[in-house]
């Protein structure tokens, strides 16, 4: 190939994947993530080669998050924004659109990794709680590595290697969770929670899931929903219900009282982390904590469930 034909090709490559090394800035691309389920993975994959910030705090309800002016400024200044999508960040949608329009790379992580036939719908809206299925979420590290590699091609191989390590960890955890839940007696595999965040989890790990509130915490549970669930609890002899760290306890208490009024000792099986890691610290810690809490309450019989009733 003649040099005159090679040069435009080289120039095009340099333009499309140039490292962003802005003058006076050595910390690499600025990455802003919405949830910790994304941010924790991005931080590990980025290492020291990018600065990663997470918008939602450890106990924050993403369904109710309203961005401040500082949040929007942070997003606007980013090189890469990673968010869940599937309407999880409802009040942030407009801001994310504006950020994308301004030329920032904006990636809806859950939408990208979820295959069409894996998607769970809730009425007209998609269920956004995809991170609850560790096998699906194990594709996220690779996606993040690819997006980071676009920002910083010279580090692409390192990003990919770190992502592969996380993927392997998530797949190993996924297998272990499946084995643990398979060992649970079939009639115990019912998960009753505050809001409907565990349907991907239930599908993957073989649990029937019932939530008091809908898929988003912006909707209130009705009295008839509570009554209907009390019937289910009594008829199916469900031993435990679970709180969630980001959701109000009122509905759970109403259900517990309703069941006890009918002579059924429904116990509180503990606190689950649905939409943020909370005290579990990290995304992976949150998965493990949920699995341990659920197996402890559903697997150990009524006596052990009663001991877990700390409220
Ligand atoms: Zn949720």
Last residue of one domain, picked from the residues 175, 207, 225: 175
Report the separation in Å between the CA atom of 127 and the middle of ligand 1, taken as the mean of its atom positions: 9
**Structural domain includes residue 72:** yes
CATH number of residue 199's parent domain: 3.40.50.1980
On whether both 150 and 198 belong to a single domain, the answer is no
**Structural domain includes residue 88:** yes
On whether both 137 and 197 belong to a single domain, the answer is no
On whether both 167 and 274 belong to a single domain, the answer is no
Last residue of one domain, picked from the residues 155, 175, 195: 175
On whether both 154 and 189 belong to a single domain, the answer is no
Report the separation in Å between the CA atom of 86 and the middle of ligand 1, taken as the mean of its atom positions: 11
Last residue of one domain, picked from the residues 145, 175, 205: 175
Enumerate long-range contacts of 96-100, CB under 8 Å, 24 or more apart.
98/72, 99/72, 99/75
Report the separation in Å between the CA atom of 64 and the middle of ligand 1, taken as the mean of its atom positions: 10
Is the predicted pLDDT of residue 22 greater than 80, yes or no?
A: no
Distances (CA, A) of 2 to 5, 13, 55, 88, 156: 5, 17, 50, 52, 30
Report the separation in Å between the CA atom of 199 and the middle of ligand 1, taken as the mean of its atom positions: 11
Report the separation in Å between the CA atom of 215 and the middle of ligand 1, taken as the mean of its atom positions: 6
On whether both 156 and 201 belong to a single domain, the answer is no
Report the separation in Å between the CA atom of 290 and the middle of ligand 1, taken as the mean of its atom positions: 14
List the Cα angle 96/100/105 in 5-degree steps. 110
On whether both 81 and 212 belong to a single domain, the answer is no
Q: What domain count does the chain have?
A: 2
The torsion defined by the Cα of 293, 213, 189 and 298, in degrees rounded to 10, comes to: 30
**Structural domain includes residue 4:** no
Report the separation in Å between the CA atom of 65 and the middle of ligand 1, taken as the mean of its atom positions: 12
On whether both 299 and 247 belong to a single domain, the answer is yes
On whether both 31 and 170 belong to a single domain, the answer is yes
**Structural domain includes residue 293:** yes
Question: pLDDT-based confidence at 298, cuts 50/70/90?
Answer: very high
**Structural domain includes residue 149:** yes
User: Is-contact 158 48, C-beta < 8 A?
Assistant: no
Distance CA 179, CA 211 (A): 24
**What is the residue range of 46's domain?**
26-175
Q: Which residues of 122-148 are buried (b: 16+ CB within 10 A; e: fewer)?
A: eeeebbbbbbbbbbbbbbbbbbbbebb
Q: 94-127, pLDDT tens digit by residue?
A: 999 999 999 999 999 999 999 999 999 987 889 9
Report the separation in Å between the CA atom of 274 and the middle of ligand 1, taken as the mean of its atom positions: 6
Question: pLDDT-based confidence at 12, cuts 50/70/90?
Answer: very low
**Structural domain includes residue 5:** no
Is the predicted pLDDT of residue 233 greater than 50, yes or no?
A: yes
Report the separation in Å between the CA atom of 1 and the middle of ligand 1, taken as the mean of its atom positions: 56
Report the separation in Å between the CA atom of 174 and the middle of ligand 1, taken as the mean of its atom positions: 21
On whether both 233 and 276 belong to a single domain, the answer is yes
On whether both 205 and 232 belong to a single domain, the answer is yes
Report the separation in Å between the CA atom of 55 and the middle of ligand 1, taken as the mean of its atom positions: 16
Distance CA 168, CA 184 (A): 25
Report the separation in Å between the CA atom of 204 and the middle of ligand 1, taken as the mean of its atom positions: 17
pTM: 0.84
On whether both 190 and 170 belong to a single domain, the answer is no
**Structural domain includes residue 12:** no
Report the separation in Å between the CA atom of 8 and the middle of ligand 1, taken as the mean of its atom positions: 49
On whether both 232 and 286 belong to a single domain, the answer is yes
- The most confident of the ranges 50-59, 62-71, 103-112 is 103-112
Give the pLDDT confidence score for residue 15 in this predicted structure.
36
The torsion defined by the Cα of 162, 138, 280 and 129, in degrees rounded to 10, comes to: 140
**Structural domain includes residue 2:** no
Report the separation in Å between the CA atom of 48 and the middle of ligand 1, taken as the mean of its atom positions: 31
């Amino acid at each position: 190939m003649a040099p005159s034909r090679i040069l435009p090709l080289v120039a095009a490559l340099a333009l499309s994947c140039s490292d962003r090394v802005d003058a006076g800035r050595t910390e690499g691309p600025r990455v802003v993530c919405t949830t910790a389920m994304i941010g924790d993975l991005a931080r590990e994959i980025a290492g020291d080669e990018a600065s990663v910030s997470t918008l939602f705090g450890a106990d924050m309800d993403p369904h109710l998050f309203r961005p401040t002016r500082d949040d929007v400024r942070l997003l606007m200044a980013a090189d890469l924004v990673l968010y869940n999508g599937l309407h999880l960040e409802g009040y942030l949608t407009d801001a994310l659109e504006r950020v994308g329009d301004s030329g920032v790379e904006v990636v809806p992580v859950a939408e990208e990794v979820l295959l069409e036939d894996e998607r769970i719908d809730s009425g007209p809206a998609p269920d956004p709680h995809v991170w609850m299925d560790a096998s699906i979420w194990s594709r996220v590290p690779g996606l993040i590595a690819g997006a980071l590699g676009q920002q910083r091609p010279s580090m692409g191989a390192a990003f990919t290697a770190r992502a592969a390590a996380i993927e392997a960890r998530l797949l190993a955890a996924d297998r272990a969770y499946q084995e643990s839940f398979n060992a649970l007696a079939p009639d115990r595999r019912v998960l009753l929670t505050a809001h409907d965040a565990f349907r991907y989890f239930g599908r993957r790990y073989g649990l029937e899931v019932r939530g008091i509130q809908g898929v988003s915490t912006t909707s209130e549970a009705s009295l008839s929903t509570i009554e209907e669930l009390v019937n289910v609890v009594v008829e199916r002899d469900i031993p435990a219900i679970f709180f969630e760290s980001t959701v109000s306890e009122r509905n759970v208490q109403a259900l517990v009282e309703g069941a006890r009024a009918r002579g059924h000792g429904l116990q509180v099986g503990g606190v689950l982390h649905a939409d943020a890691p909370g005290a579990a610290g990290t995304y992976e810690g949150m998965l493990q904590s949920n699995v341990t809490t659920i197996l402890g309450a559903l697997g150990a019989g009524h006596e052990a469930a009663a001991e877990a009733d700390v409220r």
